[in-house]
Amino acid sequence: MAGLAPLLLGDGRLPVGAYTCSAGLEPAVAAGLTRDRVPALLRARLHTAAVTEVAAAVLALRAARRDPVDYGPVQQALAARTPVAPLREASATLGRGVHRLVRRLAPDHPAVTALSAVHPRPLRPVTLGALGAVMKVSEAELAYGVVYDELQTIASAALKLLPGDPLDTVAWILAAEPGATAAVTEALAVRTPAELPARTPPLTEQWALEHAPRERRLFLA
């Protein structure tokens, strides 16, 4: 099963509720983003929010391998770098889905039981670190899995929000490979929660604030 773990981590059908999020695409579309600008959004996300989330997930994986397991420092650092409440709430909601999965897979694993001590609720990258520990993936495998999930979340949401040729979405992801590799490399170089990059894209934050009170929406964020 070890060889399947990274594939499962990057599979959009993993039952953790990721389909409820567009990684910022729906708010961007509401603000006027057009289909031809989706590749630019992917590049921007890889340079900003994705680096922070990937680095946080890797830090959580390292914490999950220590005794005792303490996610507090990375949870606090990530929350401080997610200043917009709707984005924190969306991350916590997605984290709950991952938490449910790891409890089902290995309820007594120290990396899993330690999640219950995180308050108010563990953010998604923290729970992904726990999942990585349970599935015994490497730091690089986890990092690439988180990056790929970011890309495919936007690409799959585009099929609903900006319909077009599905082959385009595959091309977008392949074209984003240099940015994905750069994001992984930068994230893996982060050694402590204090070094966690504060890559908060201002437009994404503004769009998230505008998106939260809308009654007619397909995605959380």
How do residues 50-62 score in pLDDT, each as one tens digit? Answer: 999 999 999 999 9
CA 72 to CA 179: how far, in whole Å? 29
Residue 102 makes CB contacts below 8 A (sequence gap 6+) with 109, 111, 112, 115, 127, 130, 131, 134
What pLDDT score does 38 carry?
96
3-state secondary structure of 177: helix
Confidence of residue 17 (pLDDT cuts 50, 70, 90): confident
What pLDDT score does 1 carry?
61
Over residues 35-42, the mean pLDDT reads: 96
CA 9 to CA 53: how far, in whole Å? 15
The full set of domain ranges for the chain reads: 35-205
What pLDDT score does 12 carry?
76
What pLDDT score does 46 carry?
95
pLDDT in tens, 188-209: 999 999 999 998 888 889 999 9
More confident residue, 50 or 9: 50
Residue 135 has, within 13 A of its CA and on its CB side, a CA count of 26
pLDDT in tens, 111-161: 999 999 998 999 999 999 999 999 999 999 999 999 999 999 999 999 999
> Cα(first)–Cα(last) distance of the chain, in Å?
33
